[in-house]
Structure 1
Amino acid sequence: MYAVSQKYKAAMKQPVQQFRIRGTIDNNRGTVLSFTDKNVLNFRVANQCTASSTLKIGGVYVGELSAAFTGLPAWFRWNPYQEGTVITAYISRRLADDTWEEIPLTPYTMSTMEKTAFGWETVAYDNMSKLDKAYDGQAFSGSIYDMATLACSLCGIEFGMTRAAVQALPNGTYSYFVLYPENDIDTYRDIISYLAQLIGGFATIDRSGKLVFRCFSTAATDTVSSEHRLTGAKFSDFRTEYNRIICYDKVQEKQLYCKVPELVGTYMDLGTNPFLQYGLPAKKTELLQTILYALTSYSSDDATSDTAHALHYTPFTASMFADPAYDLGDVIAFTGGIAPDDTFGCIMSYTWTYHGEYEIAGYGSDPTIDWAKSAEDKALSGLSSTLDAQQMHYYNYTNAARIFMGTDSQKTVVSLRFISTKTTQVNFFAEIKLQSETTETDTDDQYICTDGILTAAYYLGSEEIGRVRPQWTLQDGVHTLHLFFHFSVSGTTTEEFSVRFYTQDCTITIDAEALNATMEGTFLAGEGTWDGIISAEDFLDTPIFTDPADMKMHIKQTTVSESRQNPVTTGITDKITLSVTATEMTFGSISESISNSLADTRFLIDAKNNKGTYDNSITISDGVYQLSDQSVSGCIQKTADLSDSSITGITSLECTYTGLVFVQYSYDGSTWTEQAAMADFLQTDLDALYSGMTTARTIALRIWLEGNATLKEFAINYTL
Structure 2
Amino acid sequence: MHLTTKRFQEVINQPSRKFSWSGKLYLRDGETIDFTDKEILKGTGYIQRSCSGSSELELGSVYASEFGLSLFTNMDRYRLERAQISLRYHLHFDDGNQESIPMGIFEVSEANRSKKRLELKGYDFMLRFDRPISISETFGTAFELLTFICERCRVQLGMSEAQVLILPNGTEMLSIYPEHDIETYRDLLHYLASTLGSVALIDRYGRLVLKQYGITPVTLIEAKHRFDSSVSDFKTYYTAINSTNMKTKLAEYYALEQDTGLTMNLGVNPFMQLGLTEKRERMCQRLLEAVSQISYTPFDATTIGNPSLDPADMIVHLYEREAVQGLITNIEYKINGKHRISGVGKNPNYAQSKSKHDKNLVGILNKIESEHLIVHSYSNSKAFDLSTEEIPIIRIDFASDKETEALFNASILLDVRTSTVENKKQVSLLPITSGSDPPVESIMYEMIEEKEVPTKVIVTFILNHERIDYHVPIETYSNGQHVLNLFHPLSNLQEKTMNSFSVMMCLESGNVHIEKDHAIAAISGQSLGTTEVWDGKLEMTEWWSKVTLNQGMLYQRKLLEGFQIGLHQPQANIFDESVSRYVPNGLALRGWKESVSTEVENV
TM-score of the superposed pair, with normalisation by structure 2: 0.59
State whether structure 2 residue 232 is matched by structure 1 residue 236. yes
Deviation at 1:223, TM superposition (A): 0.8
1:146-545 to 2 correspondences below 5 Å: 146-175=144-173, 177-231=174-228, 233-296=229-292, 310-337=293-320, 341-370=322-351, 373-375=352-354, 377=355
Task: Output the amino acid matched with 1:322.
Answer: G
Task: Output the amino acid matched with 2:280.
Answer: K
Deviation at 1:660, TM superposition (A): 7.2
Alignment match, 1:12: 12
What is the distance in 1 between the residues matched to 2:171 and 2:181?
26
Task: Output the amino acid matched with 1:352.
Answer: Y
Q: Would you say the 8 A contact 1:664–1:676 is kept in 2?
A: no
What is the distance in 2 between the residues matched to 1:661 and 1:196?
30
Q: Would you say the 8 A contact 1:663–1:678 is kept in 2?
A: no
Alignment match, 2:49: 47
Task: Output the amino acid matched with 1:333.
Answer: V
After superposition, give the CA deviation of every residue in 1:123-171 in whole Å (9 maximum; x if it has no partner).
1100001111123335331111111111111111111111111011111
1:140 to 125, 138, 160: 138
Q: Would you say the 8 A contact 1:351–1:359 is kept in 2?
A: yes
Q: Would you say the 8 A contact 1:664–1:674 is kept in 2?
A: no
RMSD, aligned CA: 2.8
Q: Would you say the 8 A contact 1:663–1:677 is kept in 2?
A: no
**SS, match of residue 333 in structure 1:** strand
Task: Output the amino acid matched with 1:355.
Answer: N
| Residues 49, 5 of structure 1: alpha-carbon distance in 2 compared, 3 angstrom cutoff | same
Alignment match, 2:78: 77
1:111-150 to 2 correspondences below 5 Å: 111-150=109-148
After superposition, give the CA deviation of every residue in 1:222-250 in whole Å (9 maximum; x if it has no partner).
0111111122x111111111111111111
| Residues 369, 97 of structure 1: alpha-carbon distance in 2 compared, 3 angstrom cutoff | same
Deviation at 1:79, TM superposition (A): 4.3
Deviation at 1:345, TM superposition (A): 0.7
What is the distance in 2 between the residues matched to 1:346 and 1:262?
23
Gaps of 5+ in 1: 297-309, 389-658, 681-720
What is the distance in 2 between the residues matched to 1:17 and 1:196?
38
**SS, match of residue 183 in structure 2:** coil
| Residues 263, 247 of structure 1: alpha-carbon distance in 2 compared, 3 angstrom cutoff | closer
| Residues 32, 374 of structure 1: alpha-carbon distance in 2 compared, 3 angstrom cutoff | same
What is the distance in 2 between the residues matched to 1:208 and 1:367?
37
Deviation at 1:358, TM superposition (A): 0.7
**SS, match of residue 210 in structure 2:** strand
| Residues 380, 321 of structure 1: alpha-carbon distance in 2 compared, 3 angstrom cutoff | closer
| Residues 111, 14 of structure 1: alpha-carbon distance in 2 compared, 3 angstrom cutoff | same
| Residues 665, 272 of structure 1: alpha-carbon distance in 2 compared, 3 angstrom cutoff | farther
Deviation at 1:60, TM superposition (A): 0.5
Deviation at 1:323, TM superposition (A): 2.8
Task: Output the amino acid matched with 1:55.
Answer: L
What is the distance in 1 between the residues matched to 2:204 and 2:471?
28
After superposition, give the CA deviation of every residue in 1:329-371 in whole Å (9 maximum; x if it has no partner).
111011124x8x441111110111011111000011111221x
Aligned residues: 379
What is the distance in 1 between the residues matched to 2:101 and 2:94?
17
| Residues 246, 33 of structure 1: alpha-carbon distance in 2 compared, 3 angstrom cutoff | same
**SS, match of residue 291 in structure 2:** coil
What is the distance in 2 between the residues matched to 1:290 and 1:664?
47
Q: Would you say the 8 A contact 1:53–1:364 is kept in 2?
A: yes
What is the distance in 2 between the residues matched to 1:180 and 1:379?
22
Q: Would you say the 8 A contact 1:333–1:345 is kept in 2?
A: yes
Task: Output the amino acid matched with 1:368.
Answer: N
Deviation at 1:28, TM superposition (A): 2.2
What is the distance in 1 between the residues matched to 2:46 and 2:346?
29
What is the distance in 2 between the residues matched to 1:152 and 1:119?
36
What is the distance in 1 between the residues matched to 2:78 and 2:474?
44
TM-score of the superposed pair, with normalisation by structure 1: 0.50
Alignment match, 1:612: none
Deviation at 1:324, TM superposition (A): 1.4
Q: Would you say the 8 A contact 2:46–2:67 is kept in 1?
A: yes
| Residues 43, 182 of structure 1: alpha-carbon distance in 2 compared, 3 angstrom cutoff | same
What is the distance in 1 between the residues matched to 2:323 and 2:20?
35
| Residues 178, 30 of structure 1: alpha-carbon distance in 2 compared, 3 angstrom cutoff | same
| Residues 677, 330 of structure 1: alpha-carbon distance in 2 compared, 3 angstrom cutoff | farther
**SS, match of residue 332 in structure 2:** strand
| Residues 319, 660 of structure 1: alpha-carbon distance in 2 compared, 3 angstrom cutoff | same
Deviation at 1:27, TM superposition (A): 1.4
Alignment match, 1:544: none
What is the distance in 2 between the residues matched to 1:677 and 1:267?
50
Structure with the bigger RCO (C-alpha within 8 Å, sep 6+) is: 2
After superposition, give the CA deviation of every residue in 1:285-316 in whole Å (9 maximum; x if it has no partner).
110111111122xxxxxxxxxxxxx2111100
What is the distance in 2 between the residues matched to 1:379 and 1:28?
52
Q: Would you say the 8 A contact 1:663–1:675 is kept in 2?
A: no
Task: Output the amino acid matched with 1:74.
Answer: M
Deviation at 1:55, TM superposition (A): 0.6
What is the distance in 2 between the residues matched to 1:327 and 1:354?
16
What is the distance in 1 between the residues matched to 2:201 and 2:131?
16
Task: Output the amino acid matched with 2:118.
Answer: W
1:86 to 79, 84, 87: 84
| Residues 321, 185 of structure 1: alpha-carbon distance in 2 compared, 3 angstrom cutoff | same
Larger Rg: 1
Alignment match, 2:64: 62
Task: Output the amino acid matched with 1:141.
Answer: F
| Residues 661, 109 of structure 1: alpha-carbon distance in 2 compared, 3 angstrom cutoff | closer
Alignment match, 2:103: 105
What is the distance in 2 between the residues matched to 1:222 and 1:18?
20
Gaps of 5+ in 2: 365-469, 490-603
Q: Would you say the 8 A contact 1:661–1:677 is kept in 2?
A: no
Deviation at 1:186, TM superposition (A): 2.5
Q: Would you say the 8 A contact 1:662–1:675 is kept in 2?
A: no
Q: Would you say the 8 A contact 2:253–2:356 is kept in 1?
A: no
Q: Would you say the 8 A contact 1:663–1:676 is kept in 2?
A: no
